[in-house]
């Protein structure tokens, strides 16, 4: 149960950081020579998810158990150029990415809220 909430929190953190990177791209859409950046947090999240899935049984407290430790998220730079001044930001693409990222954030946020609501309900046994 704890791992699910932690995984969702990591997903929200990654989506938030990616939004900051995408917003920076939009802000620099007219800056000569600016190269588009993107944050690949989904790969790190998938790696953390695989690491947290139980693939073995720990029979001794000294056994190492996988954790959801954060992997450094990879910020990639687009070296291509779409404008004569060397800028690689396509504003339409960026706005599409911002919308997709916002939808992803909203979906994960809703799932986390539902998860916490179930836990709250179990603790109070359905009473208010």
| pLDDT value of residue 106 | 96
Question: How many structural domains comprise the chain?
Answer: 1
Coil vs helix vs strand at 77? strand
Q: Is residue 34 part of a domain?
A: yes
Q: Is residue 66 part of a domain?
A: no
Burial class of residue 122 in the structure, from the number of CB atoms within 10 Å of its CB (0-12 exposed, 13-18 middle, 19+ buried): exposed
pLDDT along the chain (128 residues), means of 10: 78 91 94 89 69 59 56 67 84 94 95 91 79
| pLDDT value of residue 70 | 47
Find the DSSP H helices in 28-90. 41-52
Q: Is residue 62 part of a domain?
A: no
> CB–CB of 111/67 below 8 Å?
no
Place of tokens 């056994």: 63
| pLDDT value of residue 84 | 85
Show the tokens assigned to 61: 């407290």
- Domain range for 120 is 2-53+75-124
Q: Is residue 6 part of a domain?
A: yes
């Amino acid at each position: 149960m704890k791992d699910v909430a932690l995984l969702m929190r990591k997903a929200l953190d990654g989506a938030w950081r990616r939004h900051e990177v995408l917003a920076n791209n939009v802000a620099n859409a007219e800056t000569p020579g600016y190269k588009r950046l993107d944050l690949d947090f989904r790969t790190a999240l998938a790696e953390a998810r695989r690491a947290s899935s139980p693939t073995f049984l720990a029979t001794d407290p000294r056994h190492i158990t996988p954790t959801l430790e954060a992997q450094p998220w990879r910020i990639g730079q687009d070296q291509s150029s779409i404008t004569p001044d060397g800028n690689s930001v396509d504003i339409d693409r960026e706005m599409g990415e911002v919308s997709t990222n916002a939808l992803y954030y909203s979906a994960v946020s809703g799932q986390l809220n539902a998860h916490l609501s179930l836990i709250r309900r179990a603790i109070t046994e359905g009473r208010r």
